[in-house]
Amino acid sequence: MGTLAGKVAVVIGGHSGFGEAIVQRLHREGAQIAIAARRIDVVNAAASAVGGKGYQCDITNNDDIAALVQSVEKDFGKIDIAVNCAGYEQSTPIAELTPEKLVAMQAVQFTGAIFCMQHFGNSMAASGGGAFLSISSQTAHSPAVGLAAYGSSKAGVEYATKIAAVEYGPKGVRFNCVAAGLIETPMTARVFKVDYAIQALTELTPVRHMGASEDIAKAAYFFCSDEARFVTGQTLCVDGGASLHGLPTALHYADAARRMAEKPSDSK
């Protein structure tokens, strides 16, 4: 029997990346799993692998979120844990930002995240309490070119998490965030193909190595379990200390590329 035996966990975006790792960890700890995303085929496949159930949900649609909560309540009887991993990144400098790009980013990263807090928070408050976790990003703490829409949306979610913790705390529902550093997932795979970029990132990470999705899953498990029963309204940066130095600039990348290019001749 795992520490989450008897618990029902809903993971939005649980079919890949951080969400997939979180699903695996919660499942190993005994939780019953519900996975939600826009594509029902991928969530059904991911859910069946852990004996769970898949649901279609586009978190930019408030009615979809409400329907998801109602469906999980009907199928499982309650919701104890909810994790929102939904998101995407599209780097755009402010000078080139369009209303369409900004609205689309905020619809997923901020507005949808707030309504997830609302619907799941209300559900868990009505059934005696629970834990809600949002996956945030180092970009909410480390300003960098092109991240105004993405990073500020994540920062907004972290602040809203504090407010949700205050509002729902008396009802037994805890709200927390994990701010993830750059880790290889399907969303970030393109970055990890650029050797000098990873070199620069590693050099600005105090522990001097990149993380893995399992690192995010470990933190998620802590927040969703009774180990964190006295923790709410908090954001934990799981980034190897990278947010202490900040994200690389163009100069960091150029310097890393130069040194890597020179290395073969130096070693002769």
pLDDT digit string (tens) for 156-177? 999 999 999 999 999 999 999 9
Q: How far apart are CA 221 and CA 217, in angstroms?
A: 6
Nearest Cα residue to 199 out of 239, 240, 249, 253: 253
User: How is the chain split into domains, by residue range?
Assistant: 8-190+210-242
pTM over 0.85: yes
> Can you tell me the mean pLDDT for 39-52?
94
**Helix (H, G, I), strand (E, B), or coil: what is residue 243?**
helix
| Digit-coded pLDDT (tens) for 201-253 | 999 999 999 999 999 999 999 999 999 999 999 999 999 999 999 888 888 88
86-106 core/surface letters (b: 16 or more CB in 10 A; e: else)? bbebeebeeeeeeeeebeebb
| Digit-coded pLDDT (tens) for 58-112 | 999 999 999 999 999 999 999 999 999 998 878 899 999 999 999 999 999 999 9
CATH fold, domain 8-190+210-242, is Rossmann fold (3.40.50)
Q: How far apart are CA 17 and CA 87, in angstroms?
A: 11
**Helix (H, G, I), strand (E, B), or coil: what is residue 191?**
helix
As a whole number of Å, the CA-based R_g of the chain is 19
CA neighbours closer than 13 Å in the CB half-sphere of residue 109: 24
| Digit-coded pLDDT (tens) for 11-41 | 999 999 999 999 999 999 999 999 999 999 9
**Helix (H, G, I), strand (E, B), or coil: what is residue 146?**
coil
Q: How far apart are CA 101 and CA 90, in angstroms?
A: 8
Q: How far apart are CA 56 and CA 204, in angstroms?
A: 39
Contacts of 98 (CB under 8 A, 6+ apart): none
**Helix (H, G, I), strand (E, B), or coil: what is residue 35?**
strand
C-beta neighbour count of 31 within 10 angstroms: 27
The pLDDT value recorded for residue 268 is 43
Q: What percent of the chain has pLDDT over 70?
A: 98
The pLDDT value recorded for residue 18 is 95
| C-beta separation of 205 from 242 below 8 A | yes
CA 212 to each of CA 61, 95, 184: distance values in angstroms, whole numbers, following the listed order: 31, 33, 7
